[in-house]
Amino acid sequence: MSNLQSDLPMPIQGTLESEKARRSRSTALLEWLQGWLVTVDHKRLGILYILYSIFFLLVAGAEAIFIRIQLAIPNNHFLTAEVYNRFFTMHGTTMVFLVGMPILFGFANYVVPLQIGARDMAFPRLNALSFWLTAFGGMLLYFSFLGGGLYGAGNAPDVGWFAYAPLTARTFSPGNATDYWALALIVSGFGTLGTAVNIIATIFSMRCRGMTLMRMPLFTWLYLVVSGLTLVTITPLTAAQFMLLIDRYLGGHFFDTQAGGSALVWVHFFWIFGHPEVYVLVLPAFAIANEIIPVFSRKAIFGYPAMVAASVGIMFVSLGVWAHHMFTVGMTSVTNAFFVLSTMLVGIPTGIKIFNWIATIWGGRVRFQTPMLFCLGFLYQFLIAGLTGIMLSVAPMDWQLHNSYFVIAHFHYVLVGAIVFCIFAGLYYWYPKATGRMMSERLGKWHFWLFVIGFHITFDTMHFLGILGMPRSIYTYQPDRGWNTLNLIVSVGGFIQGIAVLIFAYNFIVSYFKGDVAGDDPWDAWTLEWTTSSPPPVYNFAEEPEVRSRRPLWDLKHPYDTDWEYEG
Amino acid sequence: MSTASRVMDLPEERAWKLPSRGRVGMLSLIIGESALFTIFVVAYIFYIGKSLTGPTPAQVLEVPILGTICLLSSSFTIWRSEHAIEHGRMRAFAGWLAATILLGLIFMAGTAIEWHKLIVHDGLTIRTNLFGTTFYSLVGLHATHVVLGLSMLSVVLVLALLDRFPASQSERFAVIALYWHFVDVVWVVVFTVVYVIGR
Ligand code: HEM
Ligand SMILES: [Cu+2]
């Protein structure tokens, strides 16, 4: 509990002074370090999650750059085929499990208790355990680069982020690389499950007085939905990975076609996890947009109840669409039709959300600061991504485009164009709360414009490569296929995005020391986290807040025009 | 909304009561665990009759009637012990708790004997055929949960015997009991799938 003491804003005068003199620099450093390692404070854990993810964002980003160097010109020998396979596997696995999930849970950890006026999460120690499990999973995955090769062929995992059977059988994937893939994700999956349980318990049981469910900020609402979805999403993957390990270590036959097992069962199980997983990633992005778009349009969110209903609707529908990843395996036409229709159904609640965001911006006094710029990018790109998704949901169209660069373009439009954009928006938005300092607007604008330009150069172009028939996951191609120029363009865009992310990293570090002092409420926002100091004290709120509307801080600022007189 | 009902909504006028975090947390965990079991159950059902070699379930499986009765009645005993601690009757609490643990142990002993027979006598291991693979995985996964539950209950029993588990902890015990009920319900599903449908 030493972190508690070091964080107390008002130390007992005198005692600390004399102690400080005695203490040498190195013990102070050690105590600081220990304060972070044993912390159970939701704010510190949130920051740890986010720093951990940003680190892996840079790592997996570097892997992507290597991939793009290899593909920039035909017949390239920059990477061998084996290394190329490891790189795209590690890139995908890292981005989904070590960047996307932990950073989104980092936001939840930091923001949700503050937004609901709570002292901490429901289970602070479980929270710390979950983080360290996740962190250990990440280290285990990357240790495979060193340890995966010791006992046989192979090195880092090279079976794709979906690890299709029977490629993962012992015969075809000797060595331990595939085991690292499964074990690392099982371990971090336990961490994820713990966090989801924790967030749900926090939201149901820790809200301050007056915060009824329909007065919760939409951010918190979406995290409730996404944590519920996580409960039933990550566990099927864990189950399937148990089966994989049983096959690999105990000689089981789950996915062993020689003994009557079915490789297709793996594909089903993987996508029963995999499709809801993409919503686990995108719903928190919606959550961030739901906070930023109203504040920067100076209007309350349009259609709050519809937003809640659409989120819950998306959660349920997303559990019934997984086989749209499997149109090419040869299912019956009834099955195909079912999954075509259920997939298209997702478009309805998603469309409702997009209209609500636009209606929120409509007629507002929009402030084009960095967080808002990233949210506007998100809106546009998410719309396009949804439309290519609908294209792919048409089974005959998918037979043509499946496993081509069109699919890569579709999902990077969501994962980068929507999710990463919102993550950046959220980082710029809450950075002043967590550090007490503003990030540089000037560098932020550079970051945004370079990133958005690089993004479109890369991923718009990929759609055309896909339509021209370039398959995914190939390590090189012949010069006579007509893909040369487009590939070069894609790679150039990748470099531009890389530069933009480096500018962001620079801004992130330097602003911590040199940024303008933020004050409690730099954006003139409305939710509870902005009522406390920046950074907030350990105990968050000196006295437990009490709310009467969805925008408690608005009520405080405008006592003669409060929201609760109008909210039904 | 009418003015009257809006006044009713003012927080001052109403007690602010939220569900216990322990229960919410355990229910969430149970939802997650259910999805985990669902995948194993689906795999079991899908692979029924797909083994290329014997032995088959019909040849070697015997219905574990005694174990099943014990496990299911342990839901009753733990409910009695919940009831006892809520009313501060600590002797009864410990007694019913001990009965619950005993019933769980009998169930586990039944599984041990069954597996011993299957492995040694019938030569069915996890690698023999698809039936072996899916059977040991599913039943083993459930047994792991029973062991986990028994460990938690035993810790509580030891604390209770040392007078370290006061009646004020009844809420905590209720959370553990919830888990135990879940383990029981899962057994109903596993039993139906493995010993009724699959045999
Ligand atoms: C909401 C965020 C979304 C995310 C994060 C996302 C992500 C992904 C990912 C990762 C894949 C490819 C997986 C792989 O093969 O490795 C994919 C494929 C696909 N997505 Fe999306 N997607 C999203 C939204 C949508 C929507 C709204 C639709 C349709 C309405 C859709 C339809 C499809 C289809 C049909 C495929 C299969 C394409 C194929 O493999 O042939 N997606 N998506
Ligand atoms: Cu999908």
Q: Could you report the per-residue pLDDT of A361-396, keeping only the tens digit for each?
A: 999 999 999 999 999 999 999 999 999 999 999 999
Nearest CA to CA, how far is B47 from chain A (Å)? Answer: 8
Count of Cβ atoms closer than 10 Å to residue B123 Cβ? 12
Q: A398 in ligand 1 pocket by Cβ < 6 Å?
A: yes
| Number of structural domains found in chain A | 1
pLDDT of A304 > 50? The answer is yes
The predicted-structure confidence for B74-130, as pLDDT tens digits, reads as follows 999 999 999 999 999 999 999 999 999 999 999 999 999 999 999 999 999 999 999
pLDDT of A7 > 60? The answer is no
CB contact under 8 A, B32 and A231: yes
Q: A281 in ligand 1 pocket by Cβ < 6 Å?
A: yes
Chain length of chain B: 199
pLDDT of A12 > 70? The answer is no
Q: Which of A95, A275, A410 to mutate to test the pocket of ligand 1 (most atoms within 8 A of CB)?
A: A410
Does the reported pTM lie above 0.90?
Answer: yes
Q: Mutate which of B34, B36, B40, B135 to test chain A, going by most A C-beta atoms within 10 A?
A: B36
pLDDT of A512 > 90? The answer is yes
pLDDT for B2: 36
**H/E segment holding residue A363:** none
Residue A286 lies in a domain: yes
Name all domains of chain B by residue range, CATH numbers in brackets.
64-193 (1.20.120.80)
* Best CA proximity match to B32, nearest among A244, A134, A272, A236: A236
Closest ligand 1 atom number to CA of residue A346: 30
Largest CA distance in chain A: 79
Confirm or reject contact between B32 and chain A (CB < 8 A): yes
pLDDT for A424: 97
Q: How confident is the model at residue A25 (pLDDT cuts 50, 70, 90)?
A: confident
CA B121 to chain centre: 29
CB contact under 8 A, B32 and A251: no
Q: A417 in ligand 1 pocket by Cβ < 6 Å?
A: no
Taking contacts as CB-CB distances below 8 angstroms, the residues of chain A near B51 are 259-260
Q: Mutate which of B21, B51, B129 to test chain A, going by most A C-beta atoms within 10 A?
A: B21
Residue A321 lies in a domain: yes
* Best CA proximity match to A96, nearest among A237, A208, A255: A237
Q: What is the CATH number of the domain that holds A458?
A: 1.20.210.10
Rg of chain A over all Cα atoms, to the nearest angstrom: 24
Helix, strand, coil abundance in chain A, percent, nearest 5:
70, 0, 25
Taking contacts as CB-CB distances below 8 angstroms, the residues of chain A near B46 are 262, 265
**DSSP 8-state assignment for residue B14:** S
Residue A460 lies in a domain: yes
Q: Which of B21, B28, B31 sits opposite A206 (nearest CB)?
A: B21
A273 alpha carbon – ligand 1 mean position (Å): 13
Chain length of chain A: 568
CB contact under 8 A, B127 and A201: no
CB contact under 8 A, A193 and B32: yes
CA B66/CA B68 separation, integer angstroms? 5
CA A150/CA A155 separation, integer angstroms? 8
Q: Which of A271, A392, A394 to mutate to test the pocket of ligand 1 (most atoms within 8 A of CB)?
A: A392
DSSP string covering A469-521: TPBTT-S---GGGS-HHHHHHHHHHHHHHHHHHHHHHHHHHHHHHHSPB--S-
pLDDT for B174: 95
Give residues with Cβ within 8 angstroms of B44, minimum separation 6: B134, B135, B138, B193, B194, B198
- Contact predicate B62/B70, CB 8 Å: no
CA A151/CA A103 separation, integer angstroms? 34
Residue of A nearest to B23 (CA): A201
Residue of A nearest to B1 (CA): A568
Taking contacts as CB-CB distances below 8 angstroms, the residues of chain B near A248 are none
Ligand 1, atom 6, lies closest to the CA of A411
CA A68/CA A65 separation, integer angstroms? 5
Amino acid, res. B24: V
Backbone phi, psi, residue A517, to 5° = -65, 135
The predicted-structure confidence for A486-499, as pLDDT tens digits, reads as follows 999 999 999 999 99
pLDDT of A49 > 50? The answer is yes
Buried-exposed string B85-99: b where 16+ CB fall within 10 A, e elsewhere: beeeebeebbbbbbb
**DSSP 8-state assignment for residue A546:** B
Q: Is A330 left (phi over 0), alpha (psi -120 to 50) or beta?
A: left
Residue A562 structural domain: 46-567
A20 alpha carbon – ligand 1 mean position (Å): 56
Closest ligand 1 atom number to CA of residue A344: 30
Q: How confident is the model at residue A26 (pLDDT cuts 50, 70, 90)?
A: confident
**DSSP 8-state assignment for residue B12:** G
Buried-exposed string A470-505: b where 16+ CB fall within 10 A, e elsewhere: bebeebbbeeeeebeebbbbbbebbbbbbebbebbe
- Asked if omega into B55 is within 30° of 0 (cis), the reply is yes
Ligand 1, atom 9, lies closest to the CA of A411
Flag the least confident range among A171-180, A249-258, B131-140.
A171-180
Q: A433 in ligand 1 pocket by Cβ < 6 Å?
A: no
Residue of B nearest to A230 (CA): B32
Taking contacts as CB-CB distances below 8 angstroms, the residues of chain B near A238 are 36
For B128, the token pair is: 């023999």
Residue A177 lies in a domain: yes
- Contact predicate A429/A374, CB 8 Å: no
CA A335 to chain centre: 31
Nearest CA to CA, how far is A250 from chain B (Å)? Answer: 7
CA A567 to chain centre: 32
Q: A390 in ligand 1 pocket by Cβ < 6 Å?
A: yes
Q: A280 in ligand 1 pocket by Cβ < 6 Å?
A: no
Backbone phi, psi, residue A262, to 5° = -130, 125
pLDDT of A400 > 50? The answer is yes
Residue A1 lies in a domain: no
